[in-house]
Amino acid sequence: MVGIDEVGRGAWAGPLLVVAARQITSLPKDCADSKSLSPRKRQQIYQLLRKSCKIGEGWVSPIEIDDLGLAQALKLGCARALDELKVSDSVQIIVDGSTNYAPSRFGQVTAVVKADESVPIVSAASIWAKVKRDRFMKQLAKRHPHFGLEKHVGYGTTNHRLALERHGAVAGLHRFSYKPVLGQVNQP
pLDDT tens for residues 116-157? 999 999 999 999 999 999 999 999 999 999 999 999 999 999
The pLDDT value given to residue 186: 56
Q: What is the dihedral of CA 31, 74, 66, 16, to 10 degrees?
A: 20
- Whether residue 83 lies inside any domain: the answer is yes
The pLDDT value given to residue 151: 95
| CA atoms within 13 Å, Cβ hemisphere of 17 | 23
- Whether residue 179 lies inside any domain: the answer is no
Mean pLDDT across 163-187:
86
- Within 10 angstroms of residue 188's Cβ, the number of other Cβ atoms is 3
Mean pLDDT across 14-36:
92
Give yes or no for residue 159 having a pLDDT over 50: yes
Q: Give CA angle at 112 (63, 44), nearest 5°.
A: 70
CATH number of the structural domain spanning residue 53: 3.30.420.10
Distance (Å, whole) CA 23 – CA 52: 6
Percent of the chain past pLDDT 90, that is, above it, reads 85
Contact (CB, 8 A) for 32 and 4 = no
Contact (CB, 8 A) for 114 and 96 = yes
H helix or E strand, kind and range, residue 82: helix 70-85
Give the SS3 label for residue 161.
helix
The residue range of the domain holding 50 is: 2-167
- Whether residue 185 lies inside any domain: the answer is no
- Whether residue 90 lies inside any domain: the answer is yes
Contact (CB, 8 A) for 34 and 127 = yes
Query: How many structural domains comprise the chain?
Result: 1
Measure the N-to-C terminal CA separation of the chain; round to a whole number of Å.
Answer: 50
Give yes or no for residue 27 having a pLDDT over 70: yes
- Whether residue 57 lies inside any domain: the answer is yes
- Whether residue 183 lies inside any domain: the answer is no
* Amino acid at position 80, single letter: R
pLDDT tens for residues 77-98? 999 999 999 998 889 999 999 9
Q: Which residues pair with 5 in a beta bridge?
A: 19
Give yes or no for residue 184 having a pLDDT over 80: no
pLDDT tens for residues 98-126? 999 999 999 899 999 999 999 999 999 99
The answer, as to whether pTM is greater than 0.75, is yes
185 pLDDT tier (thresholds 50, 70, 90): low
Distance (Å, whole) CA 97 – CA 80: 18
